[in-house]
Structure 1
Amino acid sequence: MRMRLYATLAAAMLLAGCVPPWEHFQPGEDQSALVARFGPPREIYDLPGGGKRLMWPTQPMGEITMAADVDPTGKVQSLRQVLQPSEFYKAEIGQWTRRDVLVNFGRPVETSYFPLMKREVWTYRYLEANVWYMMYSFYFDDAGILRLTQKTPDPLHDPDRHRFGL
């Protein structure tokens, strides 16, 4: 299923002259048109007002998650790639919770817990400026409130990784 999504996204970008598939979206399309185009969403979240957020992630190895906001009648209101700085920077320290991060970005590629900091960390792969492979991390306190964010280079794409036996 994941390979089918990768192939569909790659083919769509090649056929469209490298224009991302979410840019061919027309507001008001029925969600069934997106499902026909990209397959069933891998994640679905409830939104305030009765709508849904449908997500097509390419994690754990990919850097794209397409998210479609659908109103209660099934009409798509927006379609965008959410794993990017302009979306990450909307997260509000001290206000957002784990649920907010989950609904906005989908499931993280990696989770960990730092006992000395008393912080749970959720991390996402993304491509910054279509050049740099990066990781964006959200740090939550024990109550699940966002306390810190951080971006770092993605070690998966570090050219020195193999030279040092990592």
Structure 2
Amino acid sequence: MQTQLTKWIGIGVTAVALCACASLEPVQTAQKMIGQPESAVRTAFGTPTETYQLAGGTQRWIYSKQPMGHEVYAADFDSGGKLTGFRQMLTEKEIYEARPGVWTKHDVAERFGMPREPTQYYPLMKREAWSYRMYVAGYQQAHFNALFDDNGVLDRTMIVVDPLGGDHQSRK
């Protein structure tokens, strides 16, 4: 009986440690899980906020920390359901790969998830704006904005650095 209890305690401690690592260092934790099945990723990171079916039977799970967090993580799986990659999507590198005039709202959502901030519409420009909180240079708070024309095609992207570091309305 004692060995069975010790075994269950060991499993519980391992699960808690894995969850703690997953929340503190998600990319590093997931990189060690490459090749693992979807069930292992779900155990470590929980239910994704969104899922997308990609080309060739692959899948992307989005783990968004928006609107107050500054991260959106993507877990990519091959057609067999094995983890092939896990990365933070709100980086300048990822944003600069966006293709104005080509990408649609769906393409932006597949890459960065749906916005968790309220969308804005600018009638004089005839543009809808999606906004995501992010960090630039590793520590500076900023907003990534994707602007779409009335046909839902990406018109432009912008990174706007917030010199005061966040939502000014919450400081009043």
What TM-score results when the alignment is normalised by the length of structure 2? 0.79
Is the aligned partner of 1:99 residue 2:106? Answer: yes
CA change 1:13–1:154 in 2 (3 A) is farther
* Alignment partners' CA distance in 2, 1:9 and 1:143: 44
Do 1:125 and 1:154's aligned partners in 2 also have CA atoms closer than 8 Å?
no
Is the aligned partner of 1:115 residue 2:115? Answer: no
**1:91 aligned counterpart, secondary structure:** coil
CA change 1:133–1:13 in 2 (3 A) is farther
**Residue 33 of structure 1 aligns with which residue?**
40
Offset from partner CA, 1:41-90 (integer Å, 9 cap, x none): 11111101111110111111000111111112111111101011111111
* Alignment partners' CA distance in 1, 2:82 and 2:154: 31
Amino acid at match of 1:95: V
**Structure 2: runs of 5+ lacking an equivalent:** 1-16
Is the aligned partner of 1:12 residue 2:21? Answer: yes
**Residue 74 of structure 2 aligns with which residue?**
67
Offset from partner CA, 1:72-123 (integer Å, 9 cap, x none): 2111111101011111111011111111000000011321100000001111
Identity %: 40
Amino acid at match of 1:27: I
Q: Paired residue for 1:87, among 83, 90, 94? A: 94
Across the aligned residues of Structure 1 and Structure 2, the Cα RMSD in angstroms comes to 2.6
State the number of aligned residues: 152
Is the aligned partner of 1:142 residue 2:142? Answer: no
**Residue 27 of structure 2 aligns with which residue?**
22
Compare CA radii of gyration and give the structure with the larger one. Answer: 2
Amino acid at match of 1:54: W
**Could you tell me how far 1:155 is from its partner in structure 2?**
7.7
What TM-score results when the alignment is normalised by the length of structure 1? 0.81
**2:156 aligned counterpart, secondary structure:** strand
**1:133 aligned counterpart, secondary structure:** strand
Say which is worse superposed, 96-105 or 143-152, in terms of deviation.
Answer: 143-152
Do 2:63 and 2:73's aligned partners in 1 also have CA atoms closer than 8 Å?
yes
* Alignment partners' CA distance in 2, 1:87 and 1:60: 19
Q: Paired residue for 1:56, among 54, 63, 67? A: 63
